Amino acid sequence: MRKFLSMIWRRIPERYNLIGSKCESCGAEFFPQRKLCHACRRKGKLSTVPMPREGKIYSFTEVHSAPSGFEHESPYFLALVELSNGVRLLTQLVDSPAERVKVGAKVAVVFRKIFEDDAEGAIAYGYKFKVV
């Protein structure tokens, strides 16, 4: 069993529903969730909010030499996606032809398998994005 499988399960709201935080004092939004606003510090009051499900590619790279366990997926794209609320997150792009992957391309969140432990082990799911 993978060492970080328990971390995946602890972060189900973030991974399954794209849940972040919003500071009620200054309006800043964060993903993943935070306990403290970096601008307001202790004066800020954070609440849980769903993140937008669409955005645009801010930057990207194509991975040809995948890390152990992901060799079967290469080549694949990793992108820094800027959501419509300004929050940026790193994600894998899926179901997107290479000619459509470019800075500024519109993307939407999709729910996909991240990895499986083995043929009879646990399967971890989470968010990825695709060009729309």
pLDDT one-digit tens code per residue, 72-111:
778 999 999 999 999 999 999 999 999 999 999 999 999 8
What is the Cα–Cα distance from 66 to 63, expressed in whole angstroms? 6
Question: Does 70 score more than 50 pLDDT?
Answer: yes
Q: How confident is the model at residue 10 (pLDDT cuts 50, 70, 90)?
A: low
Per-residue pLDDT at 17: 80
What is the Cα–Cα distance from 35 to 71, expressed in whole angstroms? 35
Least confident of 13-22, 33-42, 83-92: 13-22
What is the Cα–Cα distance from 83 to 91, expressed in whole angstroms? 12
- For residue 81, with 0-12 CB atoms within 10 Å meaning exposed, 13-18 middle and 19 or more buried, which class applies? buried
Question: Does 124 score more than 80 pLDDT?
Answer: no
Task: Please compute the mean of the pLDDT values over residues 59-79 and round it to a whole number.
Answer: 88
> Where do the domains of the chain lie?
53-131
Q: So what CATH class is 53-131? A: mainly beta
- Residue that has been written with the tokens 């470019």 in this structure: 102
Q: How confident is the model at residue 1 (pLDDT cuts 50, 70, 90)?
A: very low
Q: Are 62 and 75 in contact (CB under 8 A)?
A: yes
Structure-model confidence comparison of residues 90 and 117, the more confident one: 90
Task: Please compute the mean of the pLDDT values over residues 38-65 and round it to a whole number.
Answer: 92
pTM: 0.81
Question: Does 2 score more than 70 pLDDT?
Answer: no
The total of other beta-carbon atoms located within 10 Å of residue 33's CB is: 16
